[in-house]
Structure 1
């Protein structure tokens, strides 16, 4: 079953309020399925994937103590909207600041993320004076759900790649009346945001990324064919090369399956625990962070944070529709794209790779901000919202 929105009648470019509606029957069915999980044998070595003790701890909490309604009340209290763009309903949060000169900012999530990733940055960015910043740092926030994700519509035909999504986001900001704005993204959100930058739409002043596509062509080629690193790399560049080489050798299995055969993943649409395991095994550092939470040692993300997001995927039945973005995209994920507008980059130490400043400067000739921070990983806004918000403010301060 799917959570549905009360949208009334829709015509053309209308922006309609959206209401979250999850029935008790859906929640009871979820708990029943979790409790009825058919468990495999324990792994023989820890590196074989999500450990049995981790996923069983998650399932026990999910079936007994986790409270979706507590999260839903907080989530539903935010201003949700939906509008049809290019034949697909696009769901988005639109939170305007009380500060008159706030800068409009569109923030795009990735996989296995959702708009839930950005909830902790809404208050710091829209109400900066309550978080140690000035009124001049305020933003109006637009946080959309990618097509096929969350409460957005599911495309019924192929073609919704990051380039098409970027065009839709430009239309969304125009439809909301924003003549000047900035954009931010990580993971698929970075792919979409960089494609927006390449479109050079009137009014897009600059972008920020926490997962830059900054890998130079010679580095990308060497990794692809298994060559050693090119000569002359700095220590920082060699580290990035080694991390990327290891990631492409051992960490992209989920992406390969979704890029080649997303429709085959029926198991994660039928089993909540299967879905949870698939989602939390995104990358080693993120998995370790999540596993700690279910071992009673939370840091950055809590058990509820994790299950808010997984439950959101389950209730919207988007396990497979979200996976199709990997099939749709033909972009080289980390390769430099030739972005020419102003760009800010924040390097979180546990991201998929640590982008060197030298690569960022080559990839983004108008680099207006670059900073390496002390803590955080792939889901930066979600696990380190204060640092993330500070980085957003610092990046766009010069563009106001």
Structure 2
């Protein structure tokens, strides 16, 4: 069976993890945590980057730093992972879902303004499959109504919008380094921001409500409890695993892109026949080959297609069930306007295996198998 995903491994991970053990500091903010943060600040032109235990926790930090209060409203797509909404629900916010664009599966920027009320506090955008949302238009709306923009860039590490790294464009950006992502530490994430005024509050929040970060920088002679906080620091062992991959980020990106490009080239004839639809990447976006998906006629065709691939030793999967259709989504949110594309497109989408250690021979077997399928 060709797995849908396997965590990337470059070969340097064990050596760096052993080094972390030898350093004698396995808790948070050790040498490898600092290296990872510095790497992202340098390569993505981010002023501040704090490694976290997950993208979920990065989003929770962003919601807190955005000063979300009970009763505030946050606009976002329904086609996303639950963490995008959960982070704001934990702060007492009401989620306002709007429809997506059928081409990119991202939030439809043309529907955001109509969903704004006097209670709206933030817009949470999701860069699906590492393809950027229309950020210029979204930022213009946010500026007009004085709203915070949080980028859920869980899938968008090393992807770009008009020359700017995803996760560095809005007020806050949130990355994921879960094992399903392009670069991983097993479980992990990061929160990024450019505004210095958030630094102290973010460090205190991440360090259990203490000014411990200041203490380690020699800015205070002892640290103490100063505000609300939690523990969002990953182990330096996890960071060591991640740093081995960040060092080879372009090699990983190139390999993933080669697989992505093969899928697109091999399956273009099927798309030309109208049997499938392929991903769309607007001119303003540079994607990171996080995902390659097909869209089929409907959910019944998709179900049969996934079964066919399984019979032939290929593990393909569908993706999100729209949040507004879930019990919690109905309790904590509402859908503004008409659901024209969110449910329809989600039921058509199927994801093909794509990971760093997937061999091109396996990718060719996958496309050869798809080209033999007759029931589109």
TM-score by length of structure 1 reads: 0.30
Higher RCO (C-alpha under 8 Å, 6+ residues apart)? 2
TM-score by length of structure 2 reads: 0.31
